[in-house]
Amino acid sequence: MTAQSDWVKWDAKEISYEIHSPTHHDYTIDKSSFGLRILSYARNAYYYFISDVDGDNCPFFPSCSAFFIQSVKESNIFRASLMFTDRFIRDMNLFKNNNRYSLHATKKYIDPINNYLLEEKRIILTTGEFIE
Amino acid sequence: MSLLNNYFSNHFLNSINFYQTKVLAIILFLLPFSTILFSQTMNIDENYFSPKNRLAFGNFLFIQEDYLRAIEEYKNYLMYIDNDTVRFKYAESFYRIGKYNEAADNFKSIFYGSLLSDEAKLAFYKASFFNGSYNSFRDICKMEGYQSEKYAKDINRLFLISHLMDESILPDTNHFLKAFPDSTKNKVRELYMMKKFPSKKNPTTAMLLSMFIPGAGKIYTGEISDGITALLTTGVLAYLAANNFKHEHNFRGWLFAGLAVFSYAGTVYGSYASAQIYNAGVRLNFDNEVKLYFEKRNYLLPKINFLKTND
Amino acid sequence: MIKKIVLFTLFLFNVQVNAQNQISIQYEYAHNLMKTRQYFDAITEFKRTLFFDIDKQYSYSANYSIGECYKAGAMLDNAIQYFSIAQYNARTDDEKISAQLEIIKTNILRRTTERAHQILNEIEKISSINKDSVNYWRGWAFIFNDEWKEAANSFAKINPNHELKKLAEQVDMDKVSVTFAKVISYILPGSGQIYSGSILPGLISLGWNLLSGYWTVSAFNESRVFDGSVLLGLIWLRFYRGNIQNAGDFAVQKNNEISNKALRYLQHEYKGNRP
């Protein structure tokens, strides 16, 4: 007989027959504050009229627009603008350093906002492929 | 079964005398009880949940690396019979599935009055080492009551290795290296020096360089292509701004000027972050190198051989 | 003397039956745990059965049951492992085929349908095998690989009016062509999305292409070469490429929705045998 890998007690689990579709943008409105609510509406308008139409161009995860929204939530609009600008310039780099970024399950480069908040303890680095 | 017995007993009853009938009836009555005796003499213990069988099955599961199930069997065995080897394997099973707290607690129960006391102490320290907090591990190492004379050197070595695994202050070089065998001294010295003098980049330096030449800070931290892209972007936008102002296209001039300022500010900000990310990368690579080196060598700890047998 | 021999034989028989009862009681206990959906504990007891089964009389059934427990826990790799062991320990052809069918079904659930087809092709050569059973599971393997037309053909071999044949045919008919969506989008931006049913996104895509095209042409007409190049490269091409990508994505998404609707029916409402 062969060794098992179930070192944690498990229960019955049904396997879904459905095909997994790639996830699209999250249109949920953030109602935690007035500013974030407005930002959510603006973001949704950008998604619907531009981002969903011009194809999947961003090589990073999270995408640049999501990066900006998360940055605003974590800090303030000014710092978020600086972070976004830096991200956009790195996006424009045609010769990206592959060793610098790990790969997400969607084959995009992982580039979380934690790494750009200027707090060393919050920096997230992963080696190898990221499995979601 | 009873029908068969009845058939034969009735058939025989017709052909034998009264005395023989009595003897036969007694024998048939005692038959079920005799099987117990018989099975004992033949060593067939049919109660699969007896302590002895629990242990046999538990050992089998342990060898199969089915540790969670082995834990259950050992637990049930130990409710009836206290056995140090089994207690050790019970604790070791917790260790192997990553439940270091439970492992440490159970190893502690074999500290005193046992032939496996030293092995239990070694395993206890190993479980405490992997429990997550190296500070707590070092505190435990300083507690005298848990010391093992037989494995004192190995535990001391583990204590020193823990300094390489977190942000604590390194002990003196000679004192550190003295504890390691000659075959590992070179590599350990290298790791010690990497920890003591890491190749870091100064975030402020990166920021100042980019303030002087946009993108220079990123080149300083090793992100050459990012630095060049930042320089080109800021440069092109600044040129477009100047060009549009020159041709009196003021709106476009201000637009490109604004974008150039944003690009410049974002590059300066990004250079500072880039140095921090570089330093985090150095730390991560160092941590991985240390883990890989010592994991391959079982953290220079002796292996406990009796765990591989069916005892 | 004869009496003594008979008595002794009875005694031995009693011991033998007692031992056999114990192992079968243990197996029944494990089986009851499985029936009450305590799969993890059931596996423990099946393993205990196998450990104490000196005569190896439960080698097939216990391993088979462990496979079933793992399958119920969605640990499909482990399930296949134990079904394979059961197959190895099978005493009759029926047992062997039964184990192989479980391996096929588990491969289908795991979506390693190529392997399922491989095994189906192997067992089809067995003379005693029920061909309808092979075609039935072949059809399911095609379904899980999103090949509905091939699935319909497989079910048709069982019965031209088979329920699953009709379902698979309907799904195949409802699906849109991804290639066609992309091709018409090359010719008229936005048309691919409209063909897939996403009308408003298609119109927005068409609008952006027309607008950016107009800006680009105007810029070149006015000899603003730099502006024209930037508009062409950064805006018009971006929306044109995006339109083709979206045409494909929307078509795939629509097809997935159609497939998933059928798959949901098969999972929750279909009364026949399922993997």
CATH number at residue B156: 1.25.40.10
Domain contains B48: no
Structure tokens at B191: 């790791």
In a domain, A100, yes or no: yes
User: Which range has the worst mean pLDDT, A105-109, B170-174, B183-187?
Assistant: A105-109
User: Residue B10's CB: how many other CB atoms inside 10 A?
Assistant: 9
CATH number of domain containing C95: 1.25.40.10
As a whole number, the mean pLDDT across chain B is: 87
Range of the domain at C32: 2-122
Closest chain A CA to residue B223:
A97
Residue range B112-133: average pLDDT? 92
User: Is B267 at the interface with chain A, CB within 8 A?
Assistant: yes
Shared domain check, C167 and C221: no
Q: What is the CA radius of gyration of chain C?
A: 30
Q: How many CB pairs below 8 A link A and C?
A: 75
Q: Are residues B105 and B168 in the same domain?
A: yes
Q: What is the pLDDT of residue B72?
A: 97
B131 and B104 Cβ atoms separated by less than 8 Å: yes
**B192 found inside a domain:** yes
pLDDT band of C234, cuts 50, 70, 90: confident
B302 in contact with chain A, both atoms CB, cutoff 8 A: no
Residue C258 lies in a domain: yes
* pLDDT per position as a tens digit, A16-74: 999 987 666 778 888 888 888 888 888 889 888 988 888 888 889 898 988 999 999 89
Query: What residues make up the domain containing B237?
Result: 203-295
Domain contains C271 = no
Above 70 in pLDDT, residue B174? yes
The answer to whether residue B97 neighbours chain C at the CB level (below 8 Å) is no
Lowest mean pLDDT among B26-40, B91-105, B234-248: B26-40
Question: Which residue, C81, C104, C122, sits at the end of a domain?
Answer: C122
Residue A49 covered by a domain: no
Same domain, B178 and B208: no
pLDDT of residue C16: 59
Where do runs of H (alpha helix) occur along chain C?
A: 2-35, 39-52, 59-72, 76-88, 93-109, 113-124, 131-144, 148-158, 163-174, 178-187, 191-195, 199-221, 225-230, 237-268
Specify whether C13 is located in the same domain as C114: yes
* C154 and C246 fall within a common domain: no
Residue C19: its pLDDT value, please?
62
> Are residues C170 and C182 both part of a single domain?
no
Of the ranges B38-47, C22-31, C117-126, which one carries the lowest mean pLDDT score?
Answer: B38-47
Answer yes or no: is B55 within a domain.
no
Look up the domain containing A100 and give its range.
59-132
Which partners does chain C have (≥3 C-beta pairs < 8 Å)? Answer: A, B
pLDDT tens column, C23-45: 999 999 999 999 999 999 999 99
Bridge partners (DSSP) of residue A109 are: A60, A103
Q: Is A49 on the interface with C (CB under 8 A)?
A: yes
Q: Is residue C273 part of a domain?
A: no
Nearest to C216 by CA among C228, C233, C230: C228
C167/C187 same-domain check: no
Same domain for C30 and C68, yes or no, is yes
Lowest mean pLDDT of A84-88, B17-21, C134-138, name the range.
B17-21
- Measured between CA atoms, how close is C206 to chain A, in angstroms? 10
Our count of domains for chain B comes to: 3
Is A90 a domain residue?
yes
Q: Is residue A71 part of a domain?
A: yes
- C15 located within any domain: yes
Mutation target for B interface from A86, A102, A123: give the one with most B CBs within 10 A: A86
C143 in the same domain as C84: no
Q: How many domains does chain C have?
A: 3
The amino acid present at A12, given as its one-letter code, is A
Q: Which residue of C has its CA nearest to A3?
A: C78
**Residue at A16 is within a domain:** no
pLDDT at B16 over 60: no
Q: CA-based angle C267:C269:C272, to the nearest 5?
A: 80
Confidence of residue B24 (pLDDT cuts 50, 70, 90): low
Q: Is B23 found in the same domain as B9?
A: yes
Give C258's contacts (C-beta < 8 A, 6+ positions apart).
C171, C174, C175
d(CA B31, CA C18): 12
Closest listed residue to residue B106, CA positions, set B93, B115, B118: B93
Instruction: Name the strand (E) or helix (H) holding A122.
Output: none
Q: CA-CA distance, B96 to B89, in Å (whole number)?
A: 10
In a domain, B170, yes or no: yes
State whether B140 and B182 are in the same domain.
yes
Residues of B in contact with C26 (CB under 8 A): 48
Is residue C3 over pLDDT 70?
no
In this prediction, residues C60-79 reach a mean pLDDT of 96
- Within 8 A of C242 by CB-CB distance, chain A residues are 53-55, 57
| Whether B208 and B234 share a structural domain | yes
Domain assignment of residue C36, yes or no? yes
The last residue of a domain, from among C141, C158, C174: C174
Domain end: B169, B197, B225, which one?
B197
B86 & B192 share domain: yes
For residues C73 and C202, what is the distance between their CA atoms, to the nearest angstrom? 44
Closest CA to B298 of B105, B189, B121, B158: B158
| Tokens (6 digits) for B289 | 């190198």
Lookup result for tokens 């570089």: B278
Single pTM value for the model:
0.81
* Residue A109, φ and ψ in degrees, nearest 5: -75, 130
